[in-house]
Amino acid sequence: MQKSRLGAIEIQSEICYCLMSGTEEVVNDGDGSSRGYVWVIQAQDAIKSMYQSHNSLCGQVTSCTSAFLDVRSTAVGVLISPQHTYFNCGDSRGLLSRNRKVYFFTQDHKPSNPLEKERIQNAGDSVMIQRVNGSLAVSRALGDFDYKCVHGKGPTEQLVSPEPEVHDIERSEEDDQFIILACDGIWDVMGNEELCDFVRSRLEVTDDLEKVCNEIVDTCLYKGSRDNMSVILICFPNSPKVSPEAVKKEEELDKYLESRVEASIFASMQRKGSVVMFGGVDKAYYQGALNWVPLIQVGELRVHMDR
């Protein structure tokens, strides 16, 4: 059977209809053998059309006002249907955790990748120090129109392409746990397995997904990330659940760390001056060389510190 080709709007409407109805049609070769899903092909085409349409819109805005000459963005997204998960990406990355392992992750679009490098060279430029013309570190993005003006080349043949890669992954209701979508500031300091292990451990002590995302960003800051950081966490029904045992261990760890911090503070005070105790550790004061200095709050401990 020949596959039908729908316009972008019709494809997008068809996706919404299929998501609502939960139907995904099978394509037959005429001999009864299945060779794919019509819905899968339409979904892939729709995603690519939406990216390119948005890129064109960015171009219209750029041409209307000089304030947006530097408009640019990479993007990673996921479309989840009853039977499939569709990943599409740019410089950012998405991954799927299944059965406590990294089952799938998107490939970052970097100029040094062989296929990306080939397209850049065919458009008449080069890759130097792993960047387009030694300048831009991504090879697919929305905007960046300074890299999309090669005459005689289509939108997807330019130095920087707006076309996403689309991957369709068949869902597994029993094993799928969660999906992470994050930009490169996260992945610069945390690997796929490391981040998945971190998310699993946090989901065992809290079901607040916003809190888990905040802890991811805080951890990346601590590990030295200096790039843009944003993260989205999507949990399936079989994602890790809060464990009383894990919660207890977390509380014990917090108390241990708090005691170590308090001990470190008092040790520092003893080296600098005298510590005078009034009524217990909740009323501890440090006398500086000349006078009492302002209070700061450290956990449940009120302590005088030098400026």
For the chain, the domains span 256-304
Checking if the pLDDT of 300 tops 90, the result is no
The pLDDT score that the predictor gives to residue 241 is 95
d(CA 171, CA 180): 15
Beta strand extents in the chain (DSSP E only): 26-28, 34-37, 72-73, 77-80, 84-89, 93-98, 101-105, 127-128, 131-132, 142-143, 165-170, 176-182, 231-235, 274-277, 284-287, 295-298, 301-304
pLDDT for 193-216, tens place per residue? Answer: 999 999 999 999 999 999 999 999
The pLDDT score that the predictor gives to residue 15 is 53
Segment 251-268 mean pLDDT: 87
d(CA 106, CA 279): 58
The pLDDT score that the predictor gives to residue 207 is 94
CB neighbours of residue 118 within 10 Å: 11
The pLDDT score that the predictor gives to residue 301 is 37
The pLDDT score that the predictor gives to residue 158 is 87
Residue 272 DSSP SS3 = helix
The pLDDT score that the predictor gives to residue 179 is 95
Token pair for residue 285?
């004061």
Is the pTM value of this prediction over 0.85? Answer: no
- 23 or 55, greater pLDDT: 55
The pLDDT score that the predictor gives to residue 26 is 43
Segment 240-255 mean pLDDT: 94
pLDDT band at 223 (very low <50, low <70, confident <90, very high): very high
* Average pLDDT along the chain: 75
The pLDDT score that the predictor gives to residue 43 is 65
pLDDT for 147-169, tens place per residue? Answer: 888 888 888 888 888 888 888 89
d(CA 220, CA 73): 21
Give the percent of the chain with pLDDT over 70: 63
Segment 29-48 mean pLDDT: 56
pLDDT for 109-154, tens place per residue? Answer: 888 889 999 999 998 889 988 898 888 888 888 877 788 888 888 8
The pLDDT score that the predictor gives to residue 27 is 43
pLDDT for 63-105, tens place per residue? Answer: 545 544 566 777 888 888 887 777 666 668 999 999 999 999 9
Residue 99 DSSP SS3 = coil
The pLDDT score that the predictor gives to residue 237 is 94
